[in-house]
Amino acid sequence: MTYLDHAATTPMLPEAVEAMTAELGRLGNPSSLHAVGRRARRAVEESREIIAEAFDARPSEVVFTGGGTEADNLAVKGVHWARRAADPARTRVLVGAVEHHAVLDAARWLGDHEGARVEWIPVDERGRVDPDTLRAMIGAGDDVSLITVMWANNEVGTVQPVAELAAVAREHGIPFHTDAVQAAGQLPVAFAGSGAHALTLSAHKLGGPIGAGVLLLAKGTDPVPVLHGGGQERDVRSGTLATPAIVGMAAAVQVAVARRDEEARRLTALRDSLISRVRAAVPDAVLNGDPVHRLPGNAHLSFPGCEGDALLMLLDARGIECSTGSACSAGVSQPSHVLLAMGAGPERARGSLRFTLGHTSTEADVTALAEAIGPVVERARRAGLS
C-alpha cells in the first residue's frame, strides 16, 4: 500500500499509541473526587499543559472536545450566539470561501435557522484571503459577530496570512476564529502570537487518536455552549472527558512539535519531488494552491480531461491511496467548492487529486505514484472519450 492521504488521517505515532494504551487500562472519571478520579484529572491537566505549551497558549485556554468538527461548531455557533446576545445588531458572520465543511455548514446552519447573515470572504486564484479584502468587507464592523478563516486549507494546502487577518479583526473588536487542524502538525502554530480569539485542533491529523480535539479560547472569549450537561471544561463543553484519547493527543502533540521543523523540511523536499515527477509523467497537470505559501506535505493537482473519482479508483486498484479534490454527496460527484472559489471551472474542479504526505511517507511512495500516474491518466482520458 502507498498511502498518500495523510490530510484525511495520519497513522498514530508509536508514542501516542503507547500513552493511550496505558491509560485505557486505568480507571477513573476525571470529574470524580475520589482517588482514581483525581488520578484521571491529573492526567487530563498534565495533557492540557503539554498542549498549551506546544501551541503558545495558557492551560486555561485549552478546551477539550470530541474532535475538530465539534470544536469548529462550538467556535462558530457559540461565539456568534454570545456576541448576538450582547448586541442583537451583530448578525453578520464572515466566513472564508474555502473553509472546511465543519465551518461552512455550521455557518450555513446559523443562516438557515438563527437569522445570521453569512457572507463568504473571497480568495484569489491561489486560495488566499487578502487582508484588505477582509477590511473592506467588515465596513464599520458594528454588525459583525465573528470572522473565521482557516490557517491552512485542507484541499489545496494554501497557508493563510492568519496574523494579518486577525489583526484586521481586532481593529474592529471582532472575534477571529481559525481552524488550524491541517496546519498544527506541520507549521509553527502559535495561538497567542497569531492574535486569534479561538483556534481549532484535531488529534488524528497530527499522529494522535480519532475522537479528540481542542478549541483554544483566549481569555474573555466565552462562547455559548453547544452541549449542555455536567458543566465540564469550565461549562463551555459538557461531557465526560475521554482521558485516554486526551493523553494520546498530548503525546502526539509533544512528539510532532519536537520534530516539526525537521519533518517540515523533509516533507517539503518529498512534496517537491512528487510534484516534479508527476508533472514529468503528465506534462499538462496543473498544480493548485499557493506555490510558496503551502503546507509542506500537500500536493494538489488537476488532470485535464479526467474525472477525479475515476483517477482515484484506478490508483486505488494499484495500491495507491489518495483523495479527490471534490466532495461526494449521495453518490453524486460535486465540483470542489475550494477550486470553484479560486476561479477554476467545474471540469478542472472535478478532475483533481490531493496527495498528502506524513510521518510515514518515503521516496518509495513518490516513486510508486510517479510510475503509475501516467498510465492511469491515459486510461482515464480514454474512458472519458468513449
- CATH code where residue 281 lies: 3.90.1150.10
Name the residue among 154, 165, 240 with its Cα closest to residue 202: 154
Question: Cell numbers 470544536 correspond to what residue?
Answer: 71
Q: Which of 328, 360, 362, 375 is catalytic?
A: 328
- Please write the tens of the pLDDT for every residue from 13-23: 999 999 999 99
End-to-end CA distance of the chain: 30
Range(s) of the domain holding residue 337:
2-8+260-385
Element (H, E) at 79: helix 68-86
- Confidence at 355, pLDDT banded by 50, 70, 90: very high
Residues 273 and 206 in one domain: no
Question: In this structure, how many other beta carbons lie within 10 angstroms of the beta carbon of residue 325?
Answer: 24
Q: At what angle do helices 363-385 and 308-317 cross, to 10 degrees?
A: 130
Q: What are phi and psi of 377, to 5 degrees?
A: -65, -40
> Which cell is 220 given?
474573555
329: confidence class by pLDDT, cuts 50, 70, 90: very low
Q: Would you list the DSSP string of 203-271? A: GGGTTS-TT-EEEEE-TT--PPPSS-SS-TTTTTS-S---HHHHHHHHHHHHHHHHHHHHHHHHHHHHH
Q: Percent of the chain, pLDDT > 90?
A: 95
* Same structural domain, 65 and 125: yes
Among the candidates 229, 255, 281, a domain finishes at 255
- Residues 100 and 152: their CA atoms lie apart, in Å, by 10
Q: What is the pTM of this model?
A: 0.96
Asked if residue 360 and residue 322 are part of one domain, the reply reads yes
Q: How confident is the model at residue 325 (pLDDT cuts 50, 70, 90)?
A: low
131, 211, 199, 203: which is closest to 171 by C-alpha? 131
The packing angle between helices 243-281 and 14-24, to 10°, is: 160
Domain end residue (candidates: 255, 270, 302): 255
383 pLDDT band, cuts 50/70/90, is confident
Q: Has residue 114 got a pLDDT over 70?
A: yes
Q: Which residues of 247-282 are buried (b: 16+ CB within 10 A; e: fewer)?
A: bbbbbbbbbbbeebeebbebbbebbeebbebbbebb
- The mean per-residue pLDDT over the stretch 335-359 comes to 95
What's the structural domain count of the chain? 2
Q: Is 328 a catalytic residue?
A: yes
Cα separation, 28 vs 9, in Å, equals 29
Q: What is the pLDDT of residue 330?
A: 40
Shared-domain flag, residues 231 and 322: no
Among 216, 238, 255, the domain boundary falls at: 255
- Is there a single domain that holds both residue 295 and residue 317? yes
Q: Is 290 helix (H, G, I), strand (E, B) or coil?
A: coil
User: Which residues are within 8 A (CB) of 189 and not within 5 positions of it... i.e. 6 or more apart?
Assistant: 55, 56, 151, 180, 183, 199
**148 pairs with which residues across the strands?**
95, 177
Do residue 242 and residue 267 come from a single domain? no
Q: How many CB atoms lie within 10 A of CB 330?
A: 5
227 and 363 both lie in a single domain:
no
For residues 98 and 232, membership in a common domain is answered with yes
CATH of the domain at 114: 3.40.640.10
